[in-house]
Structure 1
Amino acid sequence: VAPVIFLTARHQITDRLSGFAAGGDDYLLKPFHLAELGARLKALLKRAAPATALSAGDLVLDAADHSVSTPGARIALSPTEFRLLATLSAADGTIVRRRDLVRAAWPEGAQVSDNTLDQYLSRLRRKLRQAGSDLTIGTARGIGHRLS
């Protein structure tokens, strides 16, 4: 959802309240200085920016720099490992089907064998253990995997 700022000459309080009730995020009265408009737009966009950090248990995943950390360590992951872990984290403990993990972690049309996915999940499990994370990647046989 894009932020909305009203730029108007309507000065009455009822007009301003109507603007906010209609979903406006800010209301700027004319005449205004362009510098003020720029500052307000910058503030609105900053607040509207999607969060780049996702947390799951003791892990913090930062999508902006593809980093993963626990309270005691930073975990180095490949881009594919990061995408797998982010997909499992976003599922919030529910099972993610294997085909959905493949779609999330590899480019469209990539031929990924079951063994390849298993190897990546095995490496992720090892890296989480080595970092001392409380989280584990569980397997639901024949269905998929979950982070718990």
Structure 2
Amino acid sequence: MPDPTPGLGGLADLDFASITPAEFAALVKKLSGKEIAELMRGDLRTRVLAEIFARMVRQFRPESAGSLRALIRWEVLGDPAVVYETTIADGACTVREGRSDAEPRVTLTLRDAEFLRLVSGNGSPVTMFMTRKLKVGGDIGLASGLTRLFDIPKA
């Protein structure tokens, strides 16, 4: 059976749950925007996004959150656009897929490639914001401090 993501070295066959955050960061660093677009299609995209958001719970730094209470809405634009919400409260982080009726404190909107680069430590959130690749709605101060709340790998 041919690789559904030609040129991506069999990434479609990887078990993303078994890849460490550092290994994932190194994989993302090697990919071009075009390769990420090829990767982020269909079932593979669903698997990758689900694993990334599941890891947010594990990579959360409660000691950095203090008494923070916030709903962060992530709008990842692609085919199709998906929404995940991260709730930080009482020193814990929970994640759910889909848009709730609750009002988020901040909404982050970005395309697949920028999202992967951001969560893998391969992209600067400030640069993405300044070049309009990352759109922030709501509490910009909270958005600017999100990276300190998670253990983000360095590629």
Larger C-alpha radius of gyration, 1 or 2? 1
Q: TM-score, normalised by structure 1?
A: 0.29
With the length of structure 2 as denominator, give the TM-score of the two structures. 0.28
